[in-house]
Amino acid sequence: MPQPERPPITMTTFRNIVCACIVFAFIAIAETPKETKGNPLIFSEDFEKGAEKWTQTDPAAWKVIEEDGGHAYSQHQQSNYKPEVRSPVNIARVKDLDVGDFVVEARMKQTGKEYGHRDMCIFFGYQDPSHFYYVHLATKADEHANSIFLVNGAPRVSIAQERTQGTDWGTGYQTVRIERDTKAGTILVYFNDMTKPAMKTTDKTFLHGGIGFGTFDDTGNIDDVHIWGKPAEPAKK
């Protein structure tokens, strides 16, 4: 028995199908996983509604800016802040966040001039202004740059067991990720390539704490911050 002829696909129908496929593909790519490494998603920030969830060493050094059709959080000048021990000056932390195991990922853009210590930082295990970890991603590695650092009531100390020779910030946004396993003590840092750590170490000095971003003494922007983890008690302010 002959099959009835199907009506031809019009150009309008074809365009609608293509547009729908593109939209669904974009949604699939853009959707943030609800769980990573066994940790649930507990915090997301795109700064489209401001930065009320953040606390800073100097609020005047930070502002929400319009960029590429959206918004980002910009540390646009140096903070009027002197740490008790030698450590980064420019810090913005998520308010009332205290996690043990976690994965944090963000897009970060260094906006300063090129030089050996051109940097941006991610802070974690934050207890108070003199006790925390931070990852310092800088152009050239040395004893004070491009490493994982521990601040424990004394000037920062490099504790990375493995690291690259430097970090190429370029001129645009880069994706940075840290994975923390407190039971094993591991800290893994990824820069764009999520298949191979750019830095790693093992340390159990601080097994929980707050998370933040900034620079040692440079400038930069952050956007699309996601944190997966298991919250503990509110972080100290």
**Long-range contacts: 146-150, Cβ < 8 Å, 24+?**
146/119, 146/199, 147/199, 148/187, 148/189, 148/199, 148/200, 148/201, 149/87, 150/203, 150/205
3-state SS, 59-101, equals HHHEEEEEECCEEEEEECCCCCCCCCCCCCCEEEEECCCCEEE
Dist. CA 24–CA 13, nearest whole Å: 17
Q: Is the dihedral of CA 237, 106, 21, 11 positive or negative?
A: positive
Dist. CA 17–CA 20, nearest whole Å: 5
Judge whether residue 200 has pLDDT over 90.
Answer: yes
Q: What is the mean pLDDT of residues 29-55?
A: 92
Burial class (CB in 10 A: 0-12, 13-18, 19+), 198: buried
Residue 183 pLDDT? 96
Residue 232 pLDDT? 82
Residue 171 pLDDT? 94
Residue 27 pLDDT? 37
The fraction of the chain above a pLDDT of 70, given in percent, is 85
| Least reliable range by pLDDT among 7-11, 155-159, 173-177, 218-222 | 7-11
Residue 22 pLDDT? 39
Residues with Cβ within 8 Å of 208's Cβ and at least 6 positions away in sequence, in order, are: 98, 99, 100, 125, 182, 232
Q: How far is CA 74 from CA 63, 87, 227, in A?
A: 5, 20, 19
Residue 26 pLDDT? 40
Q: What is the mean pLDDT of residues 206-230?
A: 97
Largest Cα–Cα distance in the chain? Answer: 88
Task: For the chain, list the domains and their CATH numbers.
Answer: 34-231 (2.60.120.560)
Dist. CA 115–CA 34, nearest whole Å: 38
22 vs 108: which has the higher pLDDT: 108
Task: Give the confidence band of 144 by pLDDT, cuts at 50, 70, 90.
Answer: very high
Angle, CA 35 vertex, CA 34 and CA 36 arms, to 5°: 135
Residue 8 pLDDT? 57
Q: What is the mean pLDDT of residues 104-116?
A: 97
Six token digits for residue 10: 């019009």
Task: Give the confidence band of 50 by pLDDT, cuts at 50, 70, 90.
Answer: very high
Residue 14 pLDDT? 47
CA dihedral 96, 97, 98, 100 (to 10 degrees): 170
| Least reliable range by pLDDT among 127-131, 150-154, 208-212, 228-232 | 228-232
Chain segment 63-89, per-residue pLDDT in tens: 999 999 999 999 999 999 999 999 999
| Whether the Cβ atoms of residue 178 and residue 103 lie closer than 8 Å to each other | yes
8 vs 112: which has the higher pLDDT: 112
The neighbouring-strand residues paired with 97 are: none
